[in-house]
Amino acid sequence: MTEPQQIVIKTPWYQIAAKAWGPETGAKVLAVHGWLDNAASFDLLAPLLPDLRLVAIDLPGHGLSSHRAPGVAYHFVDYVADVIAVADGLGWDRFSFISHSLGAGVSSFVSAVQPERIERLVMIDGLGPYSADPAKAPEQLTRSIMQMSGLADKCAPVYPDLNTMIEARVRVGDLGHASARCLVERNSQACEEGMRWTTDPRLTLASPVYLTEEQVLAHLSAIQAPALLINADQGTISRREGIELRYAAVANLQVKTLPGGHHLHMETAEPVAEEIRAFWG
C-alpha cells in the first residue's frame, strides 16, 4: 500500500493528525518530523519500507495537528510527553521510531525515559536536542518573553497562491520543488486574501530554556534500544562540535553517513531506505 491513510489520534491534550502506511500486521513504527515540517516529510520514504506499519504524525503546532493553548510556549521536553501520548492513543505498548531532526531529538528522549517500549530507534540527521550554556539562561528567557509579548502585533504572511508558498520554502534552502510541495501542501490553507501557513507562529519564537549538554548526554546514555543514526554529509549533525561525545553516549549506536543535505530522506529517499532495511535485518 503506497497511498497513506489519513488518521487522527486523540491524546489527553490535543488531536494529532497523522498519515499511516503499510499493513496493520507490520512492525509498529512512529515517524516524527523536524521543526516546521510535518508528516509529509515521510511521503517519499514510507513507500520504500512496505513491510512496516509506519504512522507519521504532525507534532503539535505543525501540519494539521492542534496548536498549544494561548500563552503556552513550545518547549522541547513537552514534545516528549506528546509523543508518548500518541503511542498510548494508538494502543502501542512496544514500537520503533524513524525520526528526523527535531523529531530525532524527541524520539531519543522518549527512548531514554521509556526504554522498555522501544524496539528500534532510527534517527536522520539528528541526535538529541540543541543544548546551551546555562550561564546564558537568563538572557535566553528574556528574549523568549519579549518575542512572545510582541507576537500579537505581528501580521502572519499571506501568499497569492500555493506555488508562491512552495517557491518561498525552496528559497530557504535544502529542498527541491517536489519535496517542498509535499510539506507546503500539508502546512497551508486558503484564506480570503490567498494562502497562509497553518503552522503555529509561536514555533518560530526563541525557546524559553535549553537543556545543558550534560542533561542531553544523561538522556542519551539511558537509551537501550538498537539505534541507527543516518547523517548527511552536508547536513547539520556531523559538523556539530562535541558530537562524538553524543555518539559515545548511546550504547548500541550505528552511525552511517550518506551524501545529501539535512532533508536527505526526502531528496534521496532510496539510500536512506536501504540503510533502514539493513538495520531492520
Residues serving a catalytic function are 101
Q: Whole-angstrom Cα distance, residue 156 to residue 100?
A: 27
Least Cα distance to 83 among 53, 63, 113 occurs for: 113
State phi, psi for 228 to the nearest 5 degrees.
Answer: -125, 125
State phi, psi for 174 to the nearest 5 degrees.
Answer: 85, -15
Residue 199's Cβ-side half-sphere holds a number of Cα atoms within 13 Å equal to: 22
| Per-residue H/E/C for 216-249 | HHHHHHCCCCCEEEEEECCCCCCCCCCHHHHHHH
Q: Whole-angstrom Cα distance, residue 99 to residue 225?
A: 14
Neighbours of 17 (CB within 10 A): 21
Neighbours of 46 (CB within 10 A): 27
Neighbours of 189 (CB within 10 A): 10
Q: Whole-angstrom Cα distance, residue 230 to residue 101?
A: 11
